Structure 1
Amino acid sequence: MKQYALLRILLAGFFLYVAWPSINGQMTQLSSIFWAGWLVFLLLVVGANFATLLKMTKPPVMEQEKKQPVQVGNN
């Protein structure tokens, strides 16, 4: 299910593209803390999806392929 991880990375990149002009706007201490938290969360999302793409971790349960049990016949 690499396509889901890739789509999530692209969506996170799009959100960064949309938010980037606002990051350089008026900076108060509260807005700086908000944007720092937002960027940390973005890095966590991108890193987790890259780990899924590189098969460093198992994909989420909903995206795991179901394995069919092998049945041995009585021949």
Structure 2
Amino acid sequence: MRHYVVLRLLLAAFLLYVAWPIIPQETGFVAKLFWGAWLAFFILVVGGNFAALLQMVSPPVMEQKELRRRQASNH
């Protein structure tokens, strides 16, 4: 599950890398508004993925032993 969060962060970083050179070239009000909204959405995406990444913790040792026991009995 953790690798999906990292992949989404990498994809967002790649999209910013592609878009960054184009941002200063736009001069119209609508273009600036679009890029402002795009950057705000980028910050929301990165923040949400970092929050999801930080909330992923391993279960306590007792639960890990129970999960291993269940997996062993199922196979």
- What's the TM-score, normalizing by structure 1? 0.72
Unmatched 5+ stretches in structure 1 = 57-66, 71-75
Separation in 2 of the partners of 1:39 and 1:51?
18
Q: Which runs of 4+ in 1 moved over 6 A?
A: none
Q: CA deviation at 1:26?
A: 3.0
Separation in 2 of the partners of 1:36 and 1:26?
11
Unmatched 5+ stretches in structure 2 = 57-66, 71-75
- What's the TM-score, normalizing by structure 2? 0.72
Partner of 2:9: 9
Partner of 2:51: 51
Identical pairs, percent: 52
Over aligned residues, Cα RMSD in angstroms? 1.6
Between Structure 1 and Structure 2, the one with more helix by share is 2
Give the AA of the match of 1:2: R
User: Paired residues, what number?
Assistant: 58
Partner of 1:35: 35
